[in-house]
Amino acid sequence: MADLAAFYTKHFDEIIEATIGVIQTNVVEYSKMPREELKKRTVASMDALIQDLRDPEKHAYQQHMRDISYDRFRQNIPLNSVQQVLRSANQATASVLRNYYADDPVFLLEMLDRLHELTAEGMMGMFNGYEDAQVEIISNQESALAEVSSPIVPVYGGILVLPLIGSVDSRRAGQIMEALLEAINTYSADVVILDITGVPVIDTGVANYLLQAARAARLLGSTVVLVGIGAEIAQTIVQLGIDLTGIVTRANLQAGVEYALELQGLAIRPR
């Protein structure tokens, strides 16, 4: 609406000052912020809003609020505080509008309706920004957890141990495969011991992941040894008819290390 855009432009400074006052009164997190910093942020928001008034297809205000809320989430500022800032800006603008158009209620209502529409778009952008930040943090946490739960440990020259802990799905299997092949190259590993003691369930999907890892390792000249198969998992493997042909198996990590050393012509001898 051109008239509302013209109103914002004409009374820009007045609206900015009113907005700052309401924000500092209503939002605790912003009450002690230096006025110049708050003014800078308010001006940026107002500029984005005016862009949308002049060209509704831009959705500049929605994107601005999305970016702002993403940053505030990363700064541990509550979503409710960002909502209060947006409401405060709306409240301040509505108050200035009423000061000038109280005698023209039809026109005033028309501009207030458009203002509320823009506020709703800003709210949508705000929620999307918080969602973006949450998804990113969760994804980073999952990646960090995957690294912690699947550490690759060099135990001797040419011998690596990969203890798997927790459930293995397709996404994690891909991460494990990538890390394993990279470690084989880095350490020039001859043997990789996969310890599944900490894997609660073995099904055909997990078995296929292990077979794929073994084949990929062999292409790099490394032998895979599978250890940690308990009685329950062994029974499951038999019942499902899972074929682990091509993978050397040993009862536990100690037996796996002894086998790996034997392949290199070495052995652990008691003193």
The predicted structure's pLDDT at residue 215: 87
Of the candidates 141, 165, 198, which is a domain's last residue?
141
Q: Please check whether residue 218 lies inside any domain of the structure.
A: yes
pLDDT score, position 214: 85
Distance in angstroms (rounded) separating the CA atoms of residues 264 and 271: 20
Write out the H or E segment, with its range, that includes residue 1. none
Q: Answer yes or no: do 121 and 59 share one domain.
A: yes
Name the residue range of residue 58's domain. 2-141
DSSP three-state, residue 256: helix
Pair 115, 189 in one domain: no
Residues 111 and 167 in one domain: no
Rg (CA), the chain: 31
Whether residues 81 and 50 share a domain: the answer is yes
- The reported pLDDT for the residue numbered 165 is 81
CATH of the domain at 77: 1.10.490.130
Distance CA 223, CA 246 (A): 9
Look at residue 142 in the predicted model and tell me its pLDDT: 66
Per the domain annotation, does 77 fall within a domain?
Answer: yes
In this structure, the answer to whether residues 182 and 225 fall within a common structural domain is: yes
Quote the CA–CA distance of 190 and 208 in Å, as a whole number. 22
Interatomic CA distance for residues 176 and 199, integer angstroms:
14
35 and 102 fall within a common domain:
yes
pLDDT of residue 1: 46
pLDDT for residue 164:
85
Same domain, 66 and 132: yes
Q: Considering the domain boundaries, does residue 27 fall inside one?
A: yes
Give the residues of the chain that fall short of pLDDT 70.
Answer: 1-2, 141-150, 271
Q: How far apart are CA 249 and CA 129, in angstroms?
A: 49
Taking only the tens place, the pLDDT of each residue in 43-67 is 999 999 999 888 888 899 999 999 9
| Residue 67 resides in a domain | yes
Distance, in Å, from the CA atom of 145 to the CA atom of 25, rounded to the nearest integer, reads: 42
User: How many CA atoms are closer than 13 Å to the CA of 195, on its beta-carbon side?
Assistant: 18
- CB neighbours of 108 closer than 8 A, spacing ≥ 6? 97, 98, 101, 102
**In this structure, which long-range contacts are made by residues 98-102, counting pairs with CB atoms below 8 Å and at least 24 apart in sequence?**
100/7, 100/11
**Which letter, b or e, does each residue of 151-185 get, where b requires 16 or more Cβ atoms within 10 Å of its Cβ?**
ebeeeeebbbbbbbbeebeeebbeebeebbbebbe
State whether 107 and 159 are in the same domain: no
17 is a domain residue: yes
Total domain count for the chain?
2
Looking at the fold, whether 29 and 134 belong to one and the same domain comes out as yes
Q: Is the pTM of this model over 0.85?
A: no
